[in-house]
Amino acid sequence: MIKAKKLISTILVGGILLSSLVGCSNAGSTSENAGNSNVIKIGGIAPLTGDVAVYGVAADNGVKLAIEEINANGGLLGKQIEYVVYDDKGDPTEAVNAFKKLTSNDKVEAIVGAVTSKPTLTVTPLAVKDGIPMITPTATALEVTSAGPNIFRACFIDPYQGEIMAKFAAEELKASKAAVIYNTADDYSVGVAEAFRDAAQNFGAQVVSFEGYNGDDKDFKAVLTNVKSQAPDVLFIPDYYTRVGLIAQQAKEVGITATLLGADGWDGVLGVNPEAVEGAYFCNHYSTDDTATEVQNFLKVYKEKYNEDPVSFAALGYDAMKILAAAIEKAGSTDKEAVVKALAETNVTSVTGTITFDENRNPVKDVSIIKIENGSNRLFTKMSL
């Protein structure tokens, strides 16, 4: 315990020192032509440094790629898009600063961001007060869009994934008995698991086992032994891929033969333990082997520009910008109310599917169900509720 405390304080002190250094160097990319009316200014908020930088950079890359494409095709309403992005470091306070800079200094017309849920939640009340059209590519927390009528998002929410997987288990896999194990310390895991449990009943599958485990555990055999005694047809494990690798391995060891199911946190599990998850299914925002032209084009251009395969955050960043651009085009101006109204009526086909919004401004779109086959991800089917 003493060790842990000491360690934490060392990390904290180090972190404070580091962040004070970083703070000076990140002034953002403000432009000189603030009064230029030949451009449409779009603001971005993303964690470009810090713990969650991997996600922020990917989403930001996606947004930039979309803007480049739009500009190359003649821009929006005959004007070029200018993109101003500030780093929120995954921190709520920084996100508020970024928002204030974007709205008062840069006078942007709309905002794409933020990327993670917490910073997004702190910015939304300000955005609602201002009325500025805002779309977050990837913040999944349920409350994000309920803040006000001008907040939208491009990703599906956590409960949606649970419902889709329940439907998939019951209708495609014909499962009659389902088991769920989830991480009690993680909101994402709990949210998806509960949605699955509640939806499974409606689709005709019985949830025979619903068990929680501790987030920092490494031994899941006791829980899995209980699951096994119920002999389920499918076992749903909504957690992040590092833990999924451990759980799947131990499920095999205790002799569970049920088909394993997962959610978007599984993206990356092949790098951890491909043998243990062979034959499993999980849902994701898009699949790289989707043959739709939008997807294949996106893959090609993204790879040319950034020299790596786009993760789903990049795809969602790209789609968020495309949705926003389509709404501005449809509104015919950058008038806030007109753009918000056009956003609500969105009907865009892009990388992550054909997107419309429900009354809570959450996207209604197909979810890609991916099957792990011979050690690689294969698009199995696309589903919606």
Q: Walk across the sheet containing 151-153 and list its strands.
A: 80-87, 39-46, 110-113, 134-136, 151-153
Q: Walk across the sheet containing 234-236 and list its strands.
A: 206-213, 177-183, 234-236, 259-262, 281-284, 367-373, 376-383
Q: Which stretch binds another protein (CB under 8 A): 63-71, 239-247, 302-310, 346-354?
A: 239-247
Distant-in-sequence, close-in-space partners of 229: CB < 8 Å, separation ≥ 6: none
* Beta carbon nearer to another protein, 221 or 378: 221
The answer to whether 272 contacts another protein (rule: CB under 8 A) is yes
The answer to whether 9 contacts another protein (rule: CB under 8 A) is no
CA 242 to chain centre: 17
The answer to whether 221 contacts another protein (rule: CB under 8 A) is yes
The answer to whether 58 contacts another protein (rule: CB under 8 A) is no
* Beta carbon nearer to another protein, 132 or 276: 276
* Beta carbon nearer to another protein, 245 or 353: 245
**Cα 155–Cα 161–Cα 167 angle in degrees, nearest 5:** 140
Closest approach of another protein to the CB of residue 212, in Å:
6
- The burial of 138, by beta-carbon neighbours within 10 Å (0-12 exposed, 13-18 middle, 19 or more buried), is given as buried
Q: Which stretch binds another protein (CB under 8 A): 21-29, 69-77, 243-251, 288-296?
A: 243-251
Contact with another protein (CB under 8 A): which of 187, 219, 329, 337? Answer: 219
Near another protein in 163-192, by CB under 8 A: 184
Bridge partners, residue 314, by sequence: none
Distance in angstroms (rounded) separating the CA atoms of residues 31 and 7: 42
Residues 184 and 211 sit within 8 Å (Cβ to Cβ): no
Closest approach of another protein to the CB of residue 350, in Å:
32
Residue 132 burial (CB count, 10 A): 21
Q: What are phi and psi of 168, to 5 degrees?
A: -60, -45
The answer to whether 289 contacts another protein (rule: CB under 8 A) is no
The answer to whether 80 contacts another protein (rule: CB under 8 A) is no
User: Which DSSP letter does residue 49 get?
Assistant: S
Q: Which stretch binds another protein (CB under 8 A): 31-39, 97-105, 271-279, 307-315?
A: 271-279
Size of the site for another protein (CB under 8 A): 37
Q: Which stretch binds another protein (CB under 8 A): 149-157, 187-195, 208-216, 309-317?
A: 208-216
Residues 210 and 197 sit within 8 Å (Cβ to Cβ): yes
Residue 271 burial (CB count, 10 A): 10
* Beta carbon nearer to another protein, 50 or 133: 50
Contact with another protein (CB under 8 A): which of 4, 21, 24, 72? Answer: 4
Q: Which stretch binds another protein (CB under 8 A): 71-79, 240-248, 290-298, 372-380?
A: 240-248
Q: Which parts of this chain interact with another protein (CB under 8 A)?
A: 1-4, 6-7, 10, 184, 211-214, 216-219, 221-223, 225-226, 228-229, 242, 245-246, 249-250, 252-255, 271-273, 275-276
